[in-house]
Structure formats: C-alpha cells, structure tokens
Structure 1
Amino acid sequence: MNKKSVSELEEIVSQVRRDIVRMVHSCQSGHPGGSLGCTELLVALYFEVMNRKEGFDLDGKGEDLFFLSNGHISPVFYSVLARAGYFDVAELASFRKIGSRLQGHPTTHEGLPGIRIASGSLGQGLSVSIGAAQAKKLNHDKGLIYVLMGDGELQEGQVWEAAMYAPHNKVDNLIAIIDYNGAQIDGATQDVLSLGNLSAKWLAFGWHVIEIKNGNDIASILEGLSEAKSQANKGVPVIILLHTEMGNGVDFMMGSHKWHGVAPNNDQLAIALAQNQETLGDY
C-alpha cells in the first residue's frame, strides 16, 4: 500500500462524504451523522495506517483487522471499503435496497468483502475484537486489531465486561477507539446516561488511554494512531478517545443529534454535495 500525504487523504475524505450523503439520500434511510463524524478516522486507517493484504478472506492472517461495533454507521464503512478496492464502487448505489449486500447494518451472510462480523446490536464489537486479538496471538501473528465503538454504545454492559477481560489477559495487540461525539439518537449522552470521566474509567480498568482532541483532523488522527501503535504489545490494551463532531463536513448537520438517523431531502443533498468536492468520481 503506497503511503499517502495528508492532502491526498483529505481528498478521499471529501469523496467519502459525498458517498455517504448520496447513499442515505437515495434510499431515504440510514445514519449520516456518525458516518460523517468518523470519515477521517476510517480513511486514515484503511489508506495509511493498517497493514492490509491484497484481496479479502475472513481469517485475515498476516494483516491488521478492523471491526465496526457501532454498525449503524455502515455508510462510511461501505464507502471506505469500496474506495479501498474491496468491492466495486458502483455497488454503493444499492445501499439499503431490496436484495443488496449493503444492508443498513453490515452482515456476513452475503459474503461482502471487508465485512468479518455482523454488527448493529450494540456492545458486542469489543468482545469480538478481543477474541480476534487472542487468535492472532495463538497463531503467532503480529497483526493488530482495531475496533470502533460509539460513545452511546458504552451504555451497554457487555462493553465493560470486555473492558475488564482485556487487561487481565494482557490483550495488548488491540487498539480500541471510541467515537466521542457526545450525541446519540435520543440526544446528548450526558442527558441520556452520563459517561462521566471516560479517561479515568478506562485507566481504572487497566487500559492505556490516548485522547485525540480533534478527531476530524487527519494529521491529529495519524499522530494519535502512531502513538497507539507504539504502545501496542506492551502488556496492556490501548484505547483512543476520539473527539469528533457528528455530521462533520456538512454544516447543517453539525452540532446536533438530529442527523443521527435522518436522511437529507433533495435540497439538503445539493447543499451537502456543494460543500464536499468530487475528487475520485461519484459512483
């Protein structure tokens, strides 16, 4: 995989944002807010940070693996996978349509390249990623495991069972990431169920904690992920608190939880597209 500059990654980000709003608009269903907020992260992971092999198989031996736990932000995941060459970009047009492999929440039964678990039932991704990380250790595989969770998802108890398990078992080839945007479908996380001091919580559970204050800035993300990789294989798992803005890159979607799961209308789509340059060609 050829290394890319920050400006090249930002061009990919712009195209992925276009993909997201067009996909959700086309079927008038889906979750644009969190997808837009995590665009920079997934682009950085798949186009710069992760060690990926050509092609795809479920085992993923000899490469880094990524698991999406908050599966409702599938639009950004599908776009990045397609733009990274896992399947034809034209297939993005089938998002959430009858018979499509690109369901609202990713699944494995249709054999979509890049998808290793079904996700959407929140709280499960960290447990799955721990299992994959331990499998790599058993196989003497040096690959790292990355997993993304939403901050509202942390209200699921299974997350904290996994949070105890990983340090106890020295699962140190794991880098977990929290999309820390402070918003969920019913409002602000602090109003629905306050997360308290997240950094202190994860430290108390025995994790190495890294905060990326500007989680929508490619350079900051690359710096934080580089630090995370430097802390891997040192006896404790790593977690990144990634401060993002829901709806980032589309001005009328930012600053509110309203766009967690609402599709833009025709006029809103036009505004969103005008704010994000077509750089790789629309599908």
Structure 2
Amino acid sequence: MIKISDPRKLLNISYQTRALIVKMLSAAGSGHTGASLGLADIFTCLYFNELNHNPENPVWPDRDRVILSIGHVAPVFYATLAQAGYFEKSELFTLRKFGSRLQGHPGLDSRLPGIETSSGSLGQGLSIATGMAIVAKKSSSDIRVFSIHGDGELQEGQIWEAAMAAAHYNLDNITAIVDLNGVQIDGPTREVMHLEPLAAKWQAFGWNVIGCDGHNISGILNAFRQARANSGKPSVILARTIMGKGIKTIENDHHWHGRAPSPAEAIEFLCQIEEIFRDELAKI
C-alpha cells in the first residue's frame, strides 16, 4: 500500500498528474480535459494515501476496488495509475492511439493493470460498486469499494436505484465520490438539470454525506477518514471542484469538457500549471 501523508508531497503529485494530462491529451489530439484536471487532487489522495492496493500485484484479491463511473475522465485515471507504478509513464502518450491499452474510456478488454470495469455509459458505476460491496460483505472481507461520479451523471435514474440498494443493504464498505464542478457538456448543471439540494437527496436515500473542498489536500484526506470511520450506512463525498483546475484560462468553461489542447495551448497550459502549483504550495 502506498501511504503518503505529507500534503506538500501529495500536492506535488497532483500537479505532476495535471501536467501529464495536458501532455497526453495534446499528443492524442482528442479527449476530456476539464474534469480530468479537476479530479487530480482527489485521485492523488485516493491512490497515494487512502486506497489499500498493490501496483506490483494489481489483481491482489484483498485490494480495494475503484469503479470509474465517469469513464470520460480516463486521462486522470491513467495518469494516476502510471504515477502509482501500474505501468510505465511513457505508455500515457499512446492514449487513444490504434491498438493502445489506453482507450478513450477504460475497458477491461485492454488488459491495462488497475482497471476493475469497463466504463463509458454514464450512470452504471454505482450499481457495479454496490454489487462488489455486497459480495465483500457476504464474504466478511475488509475490501472497500470506491465509486467515482460526475455531478451531471447524477441526472441518470440508475444512480438513485443503486443508492437505494446500497443503503438497504447497509453497505458501509462503499464510498461514492461526486465531482461537484457544476459543469457538464451542455453547460452549467443548474441550467441543464438542477441538482440541489443534493446533500439532502443523498441523506434521504440513507447515505452518510460528507462535504469537502476537492482541491484542499488536507480536507480530502479528512473526508476519506470520515467515510472510513462511518458504520451502518454507505458514504458519499460531495467534493466541490473547479473544472479545468490549474489552468486559469479554461476553468469552469464547459467547452473544455471534451476538447484537447493543441501543441501551442499545451505549452501555455503547462506554464500555468507550474505557476499555480508554486502558489498553492506556498499556502501549505
């Protein structure tokens, strides 16, 4: 298990991840930039502090499971897996290339280490995670299941069917993580389909609700601790994030939901990432 507790080291990893995301998307010429950048801090805390896993043995039976329900943020998933040691970083630059293991959405058929399920169709991840959590409970296993979602994805009805089932079976071994950036492909979520009061909705479905700033390393770690300490009901972490975090010129711009930077834009973006990383580091 990788266990890094120093917020400065975790912040450094998250900004390295952002730089890799920009480089790999620019090389691919397509892909999803905004939410991938926004989730870098959460993925870093999950894989480098919270998760019980072993990159040298990706199919270790007692590993925690991560279900990426929002498959289009594959760039942050792949970059994090590579940084954690699941495969060489050089493979990141085959993203979306013909024959690459790094498909546009993660697929089990790719045989890429660290992938637990194929994803792409939104709304399905929580159902998969719930099934895994039920099996773990029945086998008296300590395995925990993490399911990662976008806020726009919560407009899918299947999410709430799974939420009801997880509470019914008292699955305190499951933690859903919702990326609350307030933006989806068509624009702000409040205009496409308003989600609030979101915390009250999850509570009404029988979940333990935890809020956090999705860019505050200490806050994210504390949210995971609260979820781990909870018993008797499933937990959901509502993480408020900024789409495109680390690149001021594209933050909260829904046009960057599924757009990749050009080579020239990538150079500018990498400069912004380095500048913002220094500013964030100085605050810790």
TMscore range, shorter length: over 0.9
The aligned residue for residue 14 of structure 1 is 15
1:161-211 deviation digits (Å, cap 9, x = unpaired)? 101111111111101111011100000111111112100101111101011
- Give, in angstroms, the shift of residue 148 of structure 1: 0.6
**1: CA distance between counterparts of 2:197 and 2:116?**
32
Question: In the alignment, is the contact (CA less than 8 A) between 2:134 and 2:169 conserved in 1?
Answer: no
- Give, in angstroms, the shift of residue 73 of structure 1: 0.3
The aligned residue for residue 27 of structure 2 is 26
User: How many residues matched?
Assistant: 275
Q: CA 1:188/1:54 → structure 2, altered by over 3 Å: closer, same or farther?
A: closer
- Give, in angstroms, the shift of residue 122 of structure 1: 0.2
Report whether the alignment pairs 1:219 with 2:218.
Answer: yes
Report whether the alignment pairs 1:266 with 2:263.
Answer: yes
The aligned residue for residue 166 of structure 1 is 166
Paired residue secondary structure (1:66)? strand
**2: CA distance between counterparts of 1:27 and 1:45?**
26
Paired residue secondary structure (2:132)? helix
Paired residue secondary structure (1:176)? strand
**2: CA distance between counterparts of 1:209 and 1:79?**
28
- Give, in angstroms, the shift of residue 54 of structure 1: 4.4
**TM-score, normalised by the number of residues in structure 2:** 0.93
Paired residue secondary structure (2:243)? coil
Paired residue secondary structure (1:276)? helix
- Give, in angstroms, the shift of residue 3 of structure 1: 2.8
**TM-score, normalised by the number of residues in structure 1:** 0.94
Which has the higher mean CA deviation after the structures are superposed, 268-277 or 79-88?
Answer: 268-277
The aligned residue for residue 276 of structure 1 is 273
**2: CA distance between counterparts of 1:10 and 1:275?**
15
- Give, in angstroms, the shift of residue 15 of structure 1: 0.9
**1: CA distance between counterparts of 2:184 and 2:165?**
26
The aligned residue for residue 136 of structure 1 is 136
The aligned residue for residue 41 of structure 1 is 42
The alignment yields a C-alpha RMSD, in angstroms, of 1.5
Q: CA 1:110/1:255 → structure 2, altered by over 3 Å: closer, same or farther?
A: closer
Paired residue secondary structure (1:239)? strand
1:52-85 deviation digits (Å, cap 9, x = unpaired)? 1343445x52222111100000000000001101
Q: Which runs of 5+ in 1 are unaligned?
A: none
Which has the higher mean CA deviation after the structures are superposed, 179-188 or 2-11?
Answer: 2-11
The aligned residue for residue 280 of structure 2 is none
Paired residue secondary structure (1:120)? coil
**2: CA distance between counterparts of 1:90 and 1:57?**
19
The aligned residue for residue 245 of structure 1 is 242
Report whether the alignment pairs 1:67 with 2:67.
Answer: yes
The aligned residue for residue 3 of structure 1 is 4
**2: CA distance between counterparts of 1:2 and 1:157?**
36
1:123-155 deviation digits (Å, cap 9, x = unpaired)? 000000011111111222112111110000011
The aligned residue for residue 198 of structure 2 is 198
Residue identity opposite 2:119 in structure 1: S
